């Protein structure tokens, strides 16, 4: 008998259950499930979007990074090139300068030598001239003094004649 | 100053929590009967002599495990906690007598069930309780016949008419407790969601969110399909948490042992709602599949169609029986282990203690399984409902 009571479904309980459950279901639907499910959905979308934008940012970042690296590499190559060029230029300038300097030096030396030769020649001819003039003057003076005395003039002539005879 | 303010705050919080119990108190005519009921009520009634005998007889029979178990899982008009001095002159009970509400031929009648329980009368098959012209036998209230008695047929079934019993029975109290709990939990959770929509869940919200997501992502969406799932979510979530919380409540035997989902009336309502929703949402494909399954030879159709038609009704009935049977069975097993202790205790105290130790281990084990079953049955009911809804809204795929 008790078992029948257990398995029976009394109308009163059915009515109470229907009323209680329907009220609970209605209240929860309006006041709990709607906002909760909406919030969950919104949050999921928000998270999804955030993840996506983070992914995008990451991709962009890596792109930027690659760009940067490329730029950096290029800059490095450029620097190397510039440095190399500079080095080459330096060397060429130095060698050029050296060459020019040597040539100039040689030229200067040559000119100086020529000048010196010229000066020397000049000086020699000057000296020759002066010596000639001086000898003429001396000779004149000597002649004058010597030739004042006719004896002496005779002597000299003799002497010269002797000498020339000797040679 | 500040401490007193704090105190006030915690007091109001406490007050909010107590509100639940206060509400209950309003519902129940809270009459804790701790008075001996065998002697006091015996004035004036002729039946009382019989009742006295019936009462004493039942105690001389000793411990009846079957009756004890049935008493615990069956519905009652009281919430019974304890009995002490059992079988003696001043046997006392600690119980809450729930209000009896009857829709009778003379209109609505309300009284405390204490009037019934304090007035046992003799009936041919066991004992009954009487108040005015109402006799309660096996927790069912009947009209007394013209002699003020119950009549039975040869199989022991009561022949008397019965009024519509709208009483707040133990099951109804469990139902109301469940409703209040579920409302308190989810309205507060919803409030948290509205307050910080984009923050990580915390507190109660963090406990409930995985369950809500579990129901949505692992139960409803795979069964119904993502597009149409939203339509059924509120009902299925309510069903899931309603069953689960009611089951958990039923496991707390110390608060009265509500056997809400073990009551066929409750599961019947849920199953009928599932049936109504399935039928309401059933599309052309669903009905055609039942009435005229395509790609099947005619003769097989003749066999198949009746089966399909019966299945429409069978599905919710199976839902109803599965839930009730599972929950009731779990309670019966735990109670049976308890009964073992008393059965052995009757032969000797030592045997009682010995078996008690063993029983306790099994009871704890069973209790843990029951915790799982409480969740599992809520899950199964929700899942099968979702599958039925899914079949109702499924589009033709050929």
Ordered by start, the domain boundaries in chain A are 2-166
pLDDT confidence bin for B8, thresholds 50/70/90 = very low
**What's the gap in Å between the CA of B127 and the closest CA on chain A?**
12
Residues of chain A contacting residue B67, judged by C-beta atoms under 8 Å apart: 2
Strand partners, B108: B103
Nearest by CB to A27, from B156, B183, B263: name it. B183
CA dist., res. B382 & res. B274, Å (int)? 10
Asked whether the beta carbons of residue B264 and residue A12 sit closer than 8 angstroms, the reply is no
**What's the gap in Å between the CA of B289 and the closest CA on chain A?**
31
Residues of chain B contacting residue A19, judged by C-beta atoms under 8 Å apart: none
Q: Rounded to two decimals, what is the model's pTM?
A: 0.71
On whether any CB of chain A is under 8 Å from the CB of B277, the answer is no
Rg of chain A over CA atoms, in angstroms? Answer: 65
Nearest by CB to A24, from B182, B193, B216: name it. B182
pLDDT of residue A4: 56
pLDDT confidence bin for B67, thresholds 50/70/90 = confident
pLDDT of residue B240: 95
Q: List the one residue out of B107, B325, B117, B217 whose CA is nearest residue A41.
A: B217
What's the ipTM?
A: 0.78
* B71, closest residue in chain A (CA to CA): A2
Residue A89 has pLDDT above 80, yes or no: yes
Model pLDDT for residues B86-133, shown as the tens digit of each residue: 667 777 778 888 888 888 888 888 888 888 888 888 777 677 888 888
Strand partners, B130: B135
What average pLDDT does chain B have?
A: 79
pLDDT confidence bin for B24, thresholds 50/70/90 = very low
On whether any CB of chain B is under 8 Å from the CB of A51, the answer is no
Model pLDDT for residues A99-116, shown as the tens digit of each residue: 988 898 888 888 888 888
On whether any CB of chain B is under 8 Å from the CB of A6, the answer is yes
pLDDT of residue A24: 93
**What's the gap in Å between the CA of B292 and the closest CA on chain A?**
34
- Read off the tokens for B125: 């098959």
Residues of chain B contacting residue A34, judged by C-beta atoms under 8 Å apart: 234
pLDDT of residue A85: 92
Please spell the DSSP secondary structure of chain A, one letter per residue: -HHHHHH---HHHHHHHHHHHHHHHHHHIIIIIHHHHHHHHHHHHHHHHHHHHHHHHHHHHHHHHHHHHHHHHHHHHHHHHHHHHHHHHHHHHHHHHHHHHHHHHHHHHHHHHHHHHHHHHHHHHHHHHHHHHHHHHHHHHHHHHHHTSHHHHHHHHHHHHHHHHH-
On whether any CB of chain B is under 8 Å from the CB of A150, the answer is no
Count of Cβ atoms closer than 10 Å to residue B58 Cβ: 15
Model pLDDT for residues B310-362, shown as the tens digit of each residue: 999 999 999 999 999 999 888 888 888 888 888 888 888 888 888 888 888 88
């Amino acid at each position: 008998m008790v078992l029948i009571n257990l398995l029976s479904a009394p109308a009163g309980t059915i009515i109470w259950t229907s009323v209680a459950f329907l009220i609970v279901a209605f209240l929860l639907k309006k006041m709990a499930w709607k906002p909760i499910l909406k919030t969950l959905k919104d949050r999921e979308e928000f998270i999804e979007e955030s993840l996506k934008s983070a992914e995008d940012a990451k991709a962009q970042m890596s792109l930027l990074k690659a760009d940067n690296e490329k730029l950096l590499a290029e800059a490095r190559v450029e620097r190397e090139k510039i440095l190399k060029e500079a080095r080459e230029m330096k060397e060429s300038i130095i060698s050029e300068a050296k060459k020019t300097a040597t040539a100039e030096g040689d030229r200067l030396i040559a000119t100086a030598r020529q000048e010196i030769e010229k000066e020397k020649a000049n000086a020699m001819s000057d000296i020759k001239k002066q010596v000639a003039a001086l000898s003429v003057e001396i000779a004149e003076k000597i002649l004058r003094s010597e030739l004042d005395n006719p004896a002496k003039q005779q002597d000299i002539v003799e002497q010269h004649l002797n000498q020339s005879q000797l040679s | 100053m500040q401490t007193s303010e704090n105190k006030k705050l915690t007091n109001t919080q406490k007050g909010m929590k107590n509100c639940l119990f206060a509400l209950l108190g309003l519902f129940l005519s809270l009459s804790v009967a701790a008075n001996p009921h065998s002697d006091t009520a015996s004035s004036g009634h002729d039946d009382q002599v019989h009742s006295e005998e019936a009462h004493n007889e039942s105690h001389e029979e000793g411990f009846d495990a079957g009756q004890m178990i049935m008493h615990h899982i069956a519905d009652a008009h009281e919430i019974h906690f304890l009995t002490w001095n059992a079988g003696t002159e001043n046997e006392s009970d600690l119980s809450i007598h729930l209000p009896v509400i009857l829709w009778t031929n003379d209109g609505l009648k309300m009284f405390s069930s204490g009037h019934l329980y304090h007035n046992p009368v003799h009936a041919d098959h066991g004992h009954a309780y009487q108040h005015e012209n109402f006799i309660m036998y096996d927790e069912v209230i009947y009209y007394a016949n013209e002699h003020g008695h119950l009549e039975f047929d040869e199989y022991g079934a009561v022949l008397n008419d019965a009024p519509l019993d709208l009483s707040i029975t133990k099951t109804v109290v469990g139902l109301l407790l469940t409703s209040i709990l579920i409302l308190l939990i989810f309205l507060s959770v919803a409030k948290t969601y509205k307050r910080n929509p984009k923050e990580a869940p915390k507190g109660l919200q963090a406990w409930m969110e995985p369950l809500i997501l579990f129901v949505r992502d692992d139960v409803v969406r795979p069964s119904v399909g993502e597009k149409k799932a939203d339509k059924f979510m509120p009902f299925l979530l309510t069903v899931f948490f309603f069953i689960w919380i009611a089951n958990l409540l039923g496991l707390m035997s110390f608060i009265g042992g509500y056997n809400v989902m073990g009551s066929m009336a409750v599961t019947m309502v849920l199953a009928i709602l599932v049936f109504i929703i399935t039928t309401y949402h059933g599309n052309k494909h669903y009905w055609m599949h039942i009435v005229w399954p395509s790609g099947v030879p005619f003769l097989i159709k003749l066999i198949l169609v009746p089966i399909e038609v019966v299945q429409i009704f069978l599905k919710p009935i199976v839902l109803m029986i599965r839930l009730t049977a599972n929950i009731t069975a779990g309670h019966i097993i735990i109670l049976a282990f308890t009964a073992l202790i008393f059965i052995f205790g009757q032969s000797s105290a030592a045997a009682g203690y010995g078996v008690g130790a063993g029983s306790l281990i099994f009871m704890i084990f069973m209790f843990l399984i029951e915790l799982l079953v409480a969740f599992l049955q809520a899950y199964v009911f929700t899942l099968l409902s979702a599958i039925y809804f899914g079949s109702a809204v499924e589009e033709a795929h050929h």
